[in-house]
Structure 1
Amino acid sequence: MSNFLKDSLKNAPPYIPGEQLTGVIKLNTNESPYSPSPKAIAAIEKETNKLMRYPQVDANDTRKALARRLNIKPENVFVGNGSDEVLRLCFQAYLEFGSKAAWSTPTYSLYEILAGFAGAKIIDVRRRDDFTVDIEALAKAGADLTIIASPNSPTGTLTPLNEIDELASKVKLLLVDEAYADFAGITASKLIDKRKNLIVARSLSKSYSLAGLRVGFAVADNSIIDDFMLLKDSYNVSRIANAAAEAALDDTAYFETIRMRILSTRRRLEEGLSKRGWKVFESGANFVFAVPPDRDGGAVYKRLLEKKILVRWFGNDPRTAVGVRITVGTDEEISRLLEVIGE
């Protein structure tokens, strides 16, 4: 680091993403194993001869497509450079040095990093042994910003909508991180008219196979969307990303085909692991968190990698170190995984 970095950031840990290896069966970063909609690919090709021009300032084509898809108004939608931009803007807009941010671990590690950048105090209301959230305790934390991931990463745990509604009624500002919501089939987006203090962050990376284009979005009261518009980069979503996202959103038949295929394979994975004596936690996402009989997630990670299968091990927390998170790949990839585990 340079000598010019602010003192408040000099000890800030960087976010460490999942490994990006080649030549392996890649089941570690919850990407879709299937290509994007053919209509999205065609939209990308059509847009390439326009790249000398700046993109839409507000990604309005995607904004309108999301509004159609979710049956809400465009002014209740913000389109960002991945859902991580939405998270970053929340910390930038609503927290300052000494503010309080609360969530329940184990969960997405980026929250802690962003809180550190903001100089905010972190309140961790630990998840129960089954990884569900103690809503009452989280509400009592009295945070300026409360965050809940549903489905949660790395555990896949889904928080019921009635509990999210209850939490929103008791906290100052609630951010619900729904990066995997399409695989759960429920979303807190329907609560935004009722709860003006609710922000729902979502992504097109997983369920729409657009991880490489970085398109995420927020759904919230229009006053909160205005905050994001004030703080975002001038052109935060590229021409290609905007065009592909609109086309993918409108291709509902392809989306549903891929979604159902992933859910079917997830059931195969869950059943296969259970038959081999693993404890599998119920998942609402495109991955499962599972614990082997010997409760040594690190050993499983290493053994699978030796067989050129890459999964994710969260060894920095004793509650997750006992298992591994496995992305739902193709049927062939999951068959190979189960074969190796059974050896």
Structure 2
Amino acid sequence: MKLRCAVLDDFQSVATTITDWSSVTDEVEVVCFGEHFASEDELVTALRDFDIVVTLRERVFFPAALIGRLPQLKLLIASGMRNSAIDFAAAERHGVTVCGTASSSTPPVELTWALLLGLARGIVDEATALRDGGPWQSTLGADLHGRRLGLLGLGKIGSRVARVGLAFGMEVMAWSRNLTGERADEVGVTLAASKEQLLESSDFVSVHLALSDRTRGLVGASELSLMRPGSYLVNTSRAAIVDQDALIAALRAGAIAGAGVDVFDIEPLPADHPMRSTPRLLATPHLGYVSRANYETYYGQAVEDIRAYLDGAPVRRLG
């Protein structure tokens, strides 16, 4: 009898066509789910008969309680090589092998600039007005050249965002708790003396930090109040780094000029979620990692992970 493999959140219906699964299909039946299962009970109902699960990034949480309710699960594959949504200790206790895949930082860098430029030049409002017969030019674009880009985080993604900012002729400043002057000099940016200085002095602020106990809620109401009324915030990192309610309040009050957000406390967003109707917000449905090249890697290496597991030699193990 074949093993059964569930592919979760295949929203674009590309999982089985963007790569070749033929190396495993003689032994594995692959079933793709295009709808998101929001609750643990829904996941258990959908996955109880599957031996293998492929999940994207950290969208679906696999806590101990869920893993314990999936006794048939043998192999869990997550895209990327770091995942905070999986209880690795519980997986080990229940004999579940967890594997990952490579993931490129290029797509989130590009999306960060798509959001930043979209905000600065009012792209959505202007394009909508043009299509709907609205006013011919209604916004006054914010210039990038000569303005300050403040980066919370200067790691693999933040440093690449910085280099694009420098190419636009922006002054780039960065801060994180562990950022050194040597690292800032290496990238060609200014090291901020503090988080507060960066927020107070930047025209554009972009978040590029990993989520941890130290970064959760790093930007809250008090931090947003430090930003200039004409400044913009972009978050393509993790939703919990920026207090979502505080951001909604700041946007509704016009305390900042706008925000570009790709990550949310609840994903997918419920139809009545306030982020869907917040003014001055350019929001995208967590597209940071969603690109053809990344999906080719995710699903291509997921197939490799399955093949290696079937051969008794799992690769890219996580935990």
* TM-score range relative to shorter protein: 0.3 to 0.5
Normalised by the length of structure 2, the TM-score is: 0.35
Q: Which has the higher helix share?
A: 1
Q: Relative contact order (alpha carbons < 8 A, sep ≥ 6): 1 or 2 greater?
A: 1
Structure with the greater alpha carbon radius of gyration: 2
